[in-house]
Structure 1
Amino acid sequence: MPPLSWNEIKSRALAFSREWADEASEDAEAKTFWNAFFHVFGIERRRVASFEQRVNKLDGRDGYIDLLWKGMLLIEHKSRGKDLDRAHQQALGYFPGLKERELPRCILVSDFARFRLYDLEEDSRHDFALKDLHKNLRLFGFIAGYQTHAVREQDPVNIKAAERMGRLHDLMKETGYVGHALEVYLVRLLFCLFAEDTGIFQQQQFQDFIEQRTGEDGSDLGPQLSVFFHILNSPEDHRLKNLDEQLAAFPFVNGRLFEEVLSPASFDTVMRQSLLDCCGLDWSRISPAIFGSLFQSIMDKQARRNLGAHYTSEQNILKLIRPLFLDRLREEFGKVKGNRKKLEEFHQQLRSLSFLDPACGCGNFLVIAYRELRLLELDILRVLHTSVRNEVEKVQQSLDVRGLIRLNVDQFFGIELEEFPAQIAQVALWLTDHQMNQQVSEEFGLYFARIPLKTSPNIICGNALRLDWNEVVPVERLSYIMGNPPFVGAKFMSEAQRADVNAVFAGIKNAGLLDFVAAWYVKAAQMLRNTAIRCAFVSTNSICQGEQVSVLWNWLLSQGCRIFFAHRTFQWNNEARGKAAVHCVIVGFACEEVQPKLLFEYEDIRGEAHSIQAKNISPYLIDGPDIIVYGRMKPICLVQEIVNGSIPADGGNLIFTPEEKDEFLSAEPLAAKWIRPYLGAEGFIHNDLRYCLWLVDCPPDELQRMPLVLERVKAVRCMRQQSPKEATKEKANIPTLFTENRQPDGDYLAIPRTSSENRQYLPIGYLSGEVVAANDLQLVPSASLYSLGVLASIMHKAWVNITSGRLKNDIRYSVKFTYNTFPWPPSLSDKQQQAVEVAAQTVLNARAQFPDSSLADLYDPLTMPPVLLKAHRALDKAVDATYGRRDFKSEAERVAFLFDLYQKYTASLLPLAAKGKKPGRRKKADG
């Protein structure tokens, strides 16, 4: 039986208040009073609540609760005029004697004439007189079957629900009930738990069935649930005539959710109790937008330790869907809401929209998109069907809106590789549909539910990179593509993933450089051609930086794709425990011209964005032309060339830790003159010095006098001979030397290939020619102070952030894409060069004040010394002056300026030379 309309409830409330206006005796009429109270809301009290529930109090004595609706409401009644504060304290005294699932969400105390409602979840109190009950009916919406609270993703009940379902999952799995059957079983239980708290079932109907129709030992619960699932899949007129009345009272659900016949599960006392613990939660508070992902994570005990780290927050989803479609629809609604005909046409237009998430997971993007569209539709219905009763108040009509709602879940399409999340996505959309139907019901006064489920979301379980998306949703029907495809770096794909992307990337040059997510861009672009479809994906920021840009975006631009909105790099996380944080971008693109173009920038990647209207958004996510930087073997300006450090290829036989070096020299003292300091990128940044055997000029006779050195040389030869690489095998003939010797004779400027992107400045510096640089330490021989100054500046760091590659979240400095493409200042006076050199030396002097601090310490944003920061700020001003600019307002503005310069340099007749002086030689070095 569906809930009563609010108008009917209000009418009953007025009659109830009149009937009980003069009652005073608790003993005589309290039970009749509360029976009549529940009747106001269309509920038979006996079905949900009991009088005089006995409990054992803390003092060991028995107490008797006037009325208890387990898990929902505890009522303490007094005679007229008695102390309601005392009644409240008496009610709280019963709590220790109740099981956790029996604890109420509300306490109601009354003396006939007065009501006081304590909402324990909202921590609120409401006092009103009996005569004003009709004005406070919304407080009791949970009795009538209406949702009376906002669903919040941060609500701890989401985590608690997932944890309880996790316990039930483990218990069932331990019995051998596993795989597909277990997944479907749990999804069904999820639906039933939700259904009894949101009006699909009657209040507590599922819990009562378990408690009243199954034994406490759980032995008959499995068979009973099998029958129960069959009933939910059977229309009322197809059921047996002599069916148990409690089973017969459940509605026909269908929607394919209960269609498959599953083998019965086997329960015991603990498992039955675990399911009842799940029933004890208020599932109307669960957010389908995130619970699906939490629910999925319970399948993995490791993932369950970080519940909350595996869902995408609503805030982040809105960052994508608002500029993709929602803001435009809201804007259009604002324009047409004053014209009834246009508003009705706009309403019908919403029904024609369709949405595809080709990596939908548990459907959180689809769920939030559907909810927001339903909220928009509700605003439309308010305008179309609200009557003005007086000059002050707008009152909604008691309106049957089921024929007026246009939007439905069949407008939403998803592709998901795994079966379980695909099933959850479908159920999550149904649950969201019901939540929104409840909201419409509450708004317009007549209950509305789409049961049985006749319309289904279109969630396909399959490999999105192998499927033809046009077969999932025809291109002529599709409006928007969106989602959060998986993040896997190009070098970290599995063999299966590599095979999937190879099929997608066929014909794209150098596609082996692309991350996994890029395949979704390519598939989407193929569908966008010659259409008005718009697309937006969340991605790791690597696809808009470094070498991937020249591969992916060169191809996308050639297909006609253009970016119309983008969020620059921000931290993608959520508010739950076990936060998962990744540096991401959001890119919206289409093959049609879309205006305005919006660029969302972040001063703090963990903070809020501010939007700017751009003339054009380039693949690097800046306001500028679609210029792409291509890797070069030589610098575009007349500067010293940069090289990688040396490669030992020695199997570790030529390299020592400090302790190993000391131990070796104690046994082989003659080797001291042939051991030199050895640094890679990590060691350079963290002052973690190692050593190496550097036998470049070692005479054979001296080598013969060092047997321990000879042992290591023999080991190097053996290792190289066994290498699968022919070039390495060839180097076995010279085992005393590194396979690649790029060590300069004199001092050099060292630039680590990999460093944290959290640092505001690159951790670079000079090293003595005695220090052997490893391959991941790039070096500029004989670099001048001027070169150090420019490369250590914020101007160069801005170029690094855009053009370098990424290793996880770290910067991967690229010779070809960063150093060789960097536009050095176009003109340079002696005064400007001197100013940069002085500022650069000041930076070195500031570092020297902290001799025991590593570059990692000095350039950590939290521990960077003020004197060093001040020196860098002065250097930045000096370098900016060499470019003729002093007014850059953001990093994006710097990058746009550098791209203009880059375009001029590369378009000139002498593309490898920028106008201006060749940088002078270094004058001073740090000691």
Structure 2
Amino acid sequence: MPLSWNEIKDRALKFSREWIDESSEDAEAKSFLDAFFNVFGVPRKRVATFEKRVKKLDGRDGYIDLLWKGILLVEHKSRGKDLDRAFNQAKDYFPGLKDRDTPRYILVSDFERFRLYDLEEDQQHDFTLKEFYKNIRLFGFIAGYQTTSFKEQDAVNIKAAERMGRLHDKLKAVGYEGHELEVYLVRLLFCLFAEDTSIFERSQFQELIEQSTAEDGRDLAQWLANLFEVLNTPHDKRLKSLDEQLAAFPYVNGNLYAERLSTASFGREMRDMLLEACALDWSRISPAIFGALFQSVMDKKQRRDLGAHYTGEQNILKLIRPLFLDELRAEFERVKNSAKKLYEFHQRLAKLKFFDPACGCGNFLVIAYRELRLLELEILRVLYGKSQSLSLDVGEFNILCDVDQFYGIEIEEFPAQIAQTALWLMDHQMNMLVSEEFGSYFVRLPLKKSATIMHGNALQVDWRDVVKPSELTYILGNPPFVGYSYQSKEQKNDCARVFHDVKSTGVLDFVAAWYRKAADYMADNPTIKAAFVSTNSITQGEQVSVLWSDLLRRGVKIHFAHRTFQWSSEARGKAAVHCVIIGFALHDAADKRIFDYETSQAEAHEVKAKNINPYLVDAPSVLLEKRRKPLCEGVPEMANGGKPTDGGNLLLNDAEKAALLQVEPQAAHWIRPFLMGDEFINSISRWCLWLNGISPHELRTLPHIMHRVEAVKTMRLASPKLPTQKQAETPYLFGEIRQPTSPRYLAIPKVSSERRRFIPIGYLDAEVVCGDKIFFISDESLYNFGILNSTLHNAWMRSVCGRLKSDYSYSNTIVYNNFPWPENATEKQKLSIEEAAQAVLDARAKYPNSSLADLYNPLTMPPELVKAHHKLDSVVDAAYSKKKFSGDSDRVAFLFERYQQLLDEGKTKPSRKKSN
């Protein structure tokens, strides 16, 4: 058992007194270093060797005074010698060491002075022998205490997973696979952590492999099997004749080593791989980060992007802080000056229960537990005083929070095992933090409590079988991100089963089912609070009315929300998706919070809200349903452009057009400009064969066009869709023809980059054929152009439209037809809007060679155009309200209130009929 810091300090003082007068390196250096290690309760001969011979760069032999492989190199000199020279001498030994044996720390000393170098942190610490007791915590790595904070970008996380991945592949290659391989790797993971975090003696696992197993690895598997059995056996139940090294290992329990596995098989290379894993400092690896990394070793494809599959701590905190941590810390501040209230608060903290019904490797649970323990540590500081030592029963009587407060469901067995193990490891690391804080060593061995992690399908399991609602406090997590069009048949069936009493749920993303399951579960205990990370699609577009009409009907209230932001890993191979976080319950909250982002990659800023609706706006909880006609009277209809359904045979680029006209110049009459959204925004030239009205005779005189028409017919007949097959009857025409007849029409691209403040809307001549990735309005009024180009309309669009990845996906049925236009705008106001709209067009016209993409790029938008839009916003805002809007959130809130008024006044009714 590691010594307490109090005992280490006492030993350090005694050590300093005993060696105050020593000066001869040759006479007493080895005794000095043995005594130095004894200060920390670590026998030097078990971890480090004297006079290690190595080859230096010049080919000569060198002898390291002391080497602890992978950890510490000591160069000791006589009193008064040059320590800089001693450090350089120590560095000269590095080329002769194996990579896995290269130490992180170098210690140089001359009896009187110490200098410790941390090579990875690039830090140097100098102190005298008399000051040694004041600096003992610098040597926490000897005692087995974690003394550094975790870093998400620490390369050791990736190295650890990569090394375990290689070992996994080798074991699988010899036929050791499936469930047994998964359990085997989790057990090795625990051993690797244990020997670097004082669960085992320092380097105890590595020493067993190096000293007791053959170098060719032939007997390693049997030694590991024996070790696993020992770790599962209480000391009083072990054989009296047990090998001394094995007998020294502690009893772990917790069922981690209970299952009897087949004996694996190792070779020389695999033994070296395991030793390379041992050489890493596992005390620096966060269980929260490594859990997901470790899971990815099971899949070679995932491993190529190792680090892209775990959730960064910063993002997890975005959820747990507003869900419970901010509230608990605020309560701590209120009660910390009252011992009685603080004691009661501590007791309540230990009764909180957390449930992640899609826990994966336990990232959310692990970070939540760590934060709970850190708060408990602050309570202990206040109750007992930081400078005071707690009783010897510090754990049993004072540390109340434990891993059995945590529950989860995970569909895959391996990550479920990792989640449970990761919580044990985090528990131990927090116990070490308490031990450091108060000086008395505390470890929970054998393991008596564990998290409850069920291996099963969370959408098929009754959550009440995992934890009773009456016992639960919080639900949290990051359910799977699977769009409705990407769901497997089983996933679709699971969703249908969850939403058995709701219509039109085929459009819902997979994550929606967790919201419904949570709402049903919380009905048995309405005090439960929940929060999920979700794809932003459940708060935008057509999914909102389907999902949230059901949730609101069940009494769901949104307490806090992070609006759209980029959820990404902090590791290499970054996997990013655009998400929201929604905190909710079946009871209302007085203080509601919205975390908004200027861009998806910006930092959040918090605003207080009176009500948070399903669009995550501080506005009434109204739902926008698909409408066939515009909400307001007198507003022109917006239609979808035509759809070629031609296999590309009726469409031409510049080169194809030129080649066709060279052989068939008479085809020029039947070629017209053709634009989809991308071509419209980026001024890309494209053409189509527009054969409406062509006579059969003329078409037959154009053999090259006829060849294309024949290809269209073949393509349509081969389609599995009956409507497409029907269109084969007129293969020379677009499959769906929707072309405006006015001389000029207003074009609105369906998809636009999220980086733009405005959707690039503009006019097109009737000669230009409008494709199905563009909406159009035949009414070319400047007033309409002005309203649609305003910040007010664009803010509405950003709040309610769907998304294609992170890009805006405009909709006529959701965005446009539900948009509240100005009520009773005066002729003067309309004229002002028309004039401002024309000024926007005039500003664009000054740059005839610039595309709309160029003009509306936030980095290249011309100052004249920016000024014109500011003027347009001022007159459009004035047509809506006398007050000045404070920003986009204020504008959207106003529009939702206006929408609610229109519904209440009965001036309009939602139309659910299918629209173009």
TM range (shorter): over 0.9
Name the residue aligned to 2:888: 891
Change (3 A) 1:359 1:723: same
Is 2:512 aligned against 1:518? yes
Name the residue aligned to 2:645: 649
Name the residue aligned to 2:119: 120
Aligned ranges 1:846-885 → 2 under 5 Å: 846-885=843-882
Q: State which drifts further: 20-29 or 256-265.
A: 256-265
Is 2:669 aligned against 1:673? yes
8 Å Cα contact 2:578/2:805 also seen in 1: no
Q: CA deviation at 1:705?
A: 2.4
Cα distance in 2 for residues equivalent to 1:827 and 1:201:
78
8 Å Cα contact 1:101/1:281 also seen in 2: yes
Q: CA deviation at 1:886?
A: 6.5
Q: CA deviation at 1:199?
A: 0.3
Cα distance in 2 for residues equivalent to 1:714 and 1:758:
42
Q: CA deviation at 1:761?
A: 0.6
Aligned ranges 1:362-373 → 2 under 5 Å: 362-373=361-372
Secondary structure of the residue aligned to 1:778 is: strand
Is 2:798 aligned against 1:804? no
8 Å Cα contact 2:390/2:440 also seen in 1: no
Q: State which drifts further: 696-705 or 432-441.
A: 696-705
Change (3 A) 1:63 1:674: same
Secondary structure of the residue aligned to 1:476 is: helix
Is 2:490 aligned against 1:496? yes
Aligned ranges 1:445-524 → 2 under 5 Å: 445-524=439-518
* Structural RMSD (CA): 1.9
Cα distance in 2 for residues equivalent to 1:127 and 1:719:
79
Cα distance in 1 for residues equivalent to 2:710 and 2:390:
93
Cα distance in 2 for residues equivalent to 1:777 and 1:83:
77
Cα distance in 2 for residues equivalent to 1:271 and 1:649:
57
Q: CA deviation at 1:288?
A: 0.7
Q: CA deviation at 1:826?
A: 1.6
Cα distance in 2 for residues equivalent to 1:895 and 1:310:
35
Cα distance in 1 for residues equivalent to 2:700 and 2:764:
32
Query: Partner amino acid for 1:737?
Result: L
Match of 1:625 among 603, 620, 626: 620
8 Å Cα contact 2:187/2:256 also seen in 1: yes
Residues 591-635 of structure 1, C-alpha deviation per residue, up to 9 Å, x if partnerless? 012231111122343232222221111111111221222221111
Query: Partner amino acid for 2:753?
Result: S
Name the residue aligned to 2:586: 591
Name the residue aligned to 1:196: 195
Name the residue aligned to 2:420: 426
Name the residue aligned to 1:534: 529
Cα distance in 2 for residues equivalent to 1:428 and 1:701:
77
Change (3 A) 1:842 1:448: same
Cα distance in 2 for residues equivalent to 1:785 and 1:698:
35
Q: CA deviation at 1:882?
A: 2.0
Name the residue aligned to 1:132: 131
Residues 348-399 of structure 1, C-alpha deviation per residue, up to 9 Å, x if partnerless? 1112111111111111100000000011111111222228xxxxxx444464
Cα distance in 2 for residues equivalent to 1:887 and 1:704:
64
Name the residue aligned to 1:401: 394
Query: Partner amino acid for 2:172?
Result: K
Name the residue aligned to 1:833: 830
Cα distance in 1 for residues equivalent to 2:32 and 2:727:
97
Change (3 A) 1:398 1:144: farther
Name the residue aligned to 1:925: none
8 Å Cα contact 2:288/2:362 also seen in 1: yes
8 Å Cα contact 1:748/1:780 also seen in 2: yes
Query: Partner amino acid for 1:461?
Result: H
Secondary structure of the residue aligned to 1:63 is: strand
Cα distance in 2 for residues equivalent to 1:565 and 1:157:
36
Cα distance in 2 for residues equivalent to 1:259 and 1:794:
64
Cα distance in 2 for residues equivalent to 1:259 and 1:523:
34
Query: Partner amino acid for 1:844?
Result: L
Name the residue aligned to 1:708: 704
Cα distance in 2 for residues equivalent to 1:122 and 1:765:
56
Q: CA deviation at 1:715?
A: 4.1
Is 2:590 aligned against 1:610? no
Residues 482-530 of structure 1, C-alpha deviation per residue, up to 9 Å, x if partnerless? 0111111122212221111111111112211211111111111111125
Match of 2:690 among 669, 688, 694: 694
Change (3 A) 1:677 1:9: same
Secondary structure of the residue aligned to 1:118 is: strand
Cα distance in 2 for residues equivalent to 1:487 and 1:90:
55
Q: Which runs of 5+ in 1 are unaligned?
A: 388-393, 914-927
8 Å Cα contact 1:3/1:145 also seen in 2: yes
Name the residue aligned to 1:251: 250
Cα distance in 1 for residues equivalent to 2:277 and 2:326:
38
Q: CA deviation at 1:226?
A: 1.7
Q: Which runs of 5+ in 2 are unaligned?
A: 911-916
Change (3 A) 1:716 1:23: closer
Name the residue aligned to 2:550: 555
Residues 87-132 of structure 1, C-alpha deviation per residue, up to 9 Å, x if partnerless? 2222122122111221222211222122222222332222222122
Secondary structure of the residue aligned to 2:352 is: coil
Q: CA deviation at 1:719?
A: 4.2
8 Å Cα contact 2:389/2:440 also seen in 1: no
Cα distance in 2 for residues equivalent to 1:413 and 1:572:
24
Q: CA deviation at 1:833?
A: 2.3
Name the residue aligned to 2:320: 321
Cα distance in 2 for residues equivalent to 1:74 and 1:399:
35
Cα distance in 2 for residues equivalent to 1:797 and 1:462:
44
Aligned length: 906
Query: Partner amino acid for 2:481?
Result: F
Q: State which drifts further: 299-308 or 288-297.
A: 299-308
Query: Partner amino acid for 1:750?
Result: A
Change (3 A) 1:679 1:145: same
8 Å Cα contact 2:51/2:66 also seen in 1: yes
Match of 1:781 among 775, 778, 782: 778
Normalising by structure 2, we get a TM-score of 0.96
Cα distance in 1 for residues equivalent to 2:465 and 2:433:
34
Residues 657-701 of structure 1, C-alpha deviation per residue, up to 9 Å, x if partnerless? 332233233333332212222211222223233322222211233
Cα distance in 2 for residues equivalent to 1:857 and 1:170:
50
Secondary structure of the residue aligned to 1:210 is: helix
Cα distance in 1 for residues equivalent to 2:790 and 2:298:
49
Secondary structure of the residue aligned to 1:612 is: strand
Name the residue aligned to 2:352: 353
Name the residue aligned to 1:772: 769
Query: Partner amino acid for 1:908?
Result: E
8 Å Cα contact 1:504/1:523 also seen in 2: yes
Change (3 A) 1:859 1:122: same
Secondary structure of the residue aligned to 1:402 is: helix
Change (3 A) 1:704 1:90: closer
Q: State which drifts further: 21-30 or 145-154.
A: 145-154
Change (3 A) 1:13 1:713: closer
Cα distance in 2 for residues equivalent to 1:313 and 1:155:
12
Q: CA deviation at 1:787?
A: 1.0
8 Å Cα contact 1:827/1:883 also seen in 2: no
Q: State which drifts further: 207-216 or 826-835.
A: 826-835
Change (3 A) 1:148 1:712: closer
Cα distance in 2 for residues equivalent to 1:875 and 1:50:
79
Change (3 A) 1:168 1:864: farther
Aligned ranges 1:912-927 → 2 under 5 Å: none
Secondary structure of the residue aligned to 2:480 is: coil
Q: CA deviation at 1:707?
A: 3.3
Q: CA deviation at 1:717?
A: 4.0
Match of 2:898 among 887, 897, 901: 901
Query: Partner amino acid for 1:736?
Result: Y
Name the residue aligned to 2:342: 343
Name the residue aligned to 2:293: 294
Name the residue aligned to 1:70: 69
Query: Partner amino acid for 2:346?
Result: H
Secondary structure of the residue aligned to 1:79 is: coil
8 Å Cα contact 1:635/1:912 also seen in 2: no
